[in-house]
């Protein structure tokens, strides 16, 4: 089982998400807030970023990373995202890579993401969600 997470509603209508280890993020549907759908995209991009970090730093140096942009196709009829488009952009302009080295880095990054991105693995598989509703009274 992963770490325990929970959300709590704020008086202003926004929500806060917490984890047992102290992580916190504010979300909602208001301006300047991530929606739950946005957080799905952040999870996908963040997983790709962390999965690719070693390959990028190994080639370009410590502290270097990729910029990952994720967009999703939303289907209103099913009220679900039916696909995501992920763009991984690595700025290696200062590294002087040859075409062959740039291609090798792109391949290595792709392999690292394919192997290590749990979020991507989860999104491509049917993932059941079990829900239990308890009303305290």
Q: What are 70-94's pLDDT values in tens digits?
A: 999 999 999 999 999 999 999 999 9
CA distance 64 to 97: 15
For 22: left if phi > 0, alpha if psi spans -120 to 50, otherwise beta; the answer is left
SS3 category, 73 = strand
Structural domain spans, the chain? 1-34, 35-124
DSSP state letter for 125: S
CA 113 from chain centre, in angstroms, equals 11
- Tens of pLDDT along 49-66? 999 999 999 999 999 999
Query: What's the pLDDT band for 1 if we cut at 50, 70, 90?
Result: low
Q: What is the pLDDT of residue 42?
A: 97
* Domain 35-124 CATH (choose: 3.30.300.20, 1.10.3720.10, 3.20.20.70, 3.40.50.970): 3.30.300.20
Cβ neighbours for 112, distance < 8 A, ≥ 6 positions apart: 51, 52, 54, 55
pTM of the full structure: 0.90
């Amino acid at each position: 089982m992963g770490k325990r997470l929970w959300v709590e509603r704020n008086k202003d209508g926004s929500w806060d998400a917490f984890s047992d280890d102290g992580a916190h993020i504010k979300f909602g549907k208001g301006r300047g807030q991530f929606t739950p759908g946005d957080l799905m995209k952040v999870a996908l991009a963040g997983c790709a970023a962390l999965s690719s970090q070693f390959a990028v730093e190994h080639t370009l140096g410590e502290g270097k990373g990729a910029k990952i942009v994720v967009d999703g196709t939303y289907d209103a009829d099913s009220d679900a995202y039916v696909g995501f488009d992920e763009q991984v952009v690595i700025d290696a302009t200062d590294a002087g890579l040859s075409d062959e080295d740039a291609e090798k880095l792109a391949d290595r990054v792709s392999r690292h993401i394919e192997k290590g991105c749990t979020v991507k693995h989860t999104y491509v598989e049917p993932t059941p969600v079990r829900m239990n509703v308890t009303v305290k009274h």
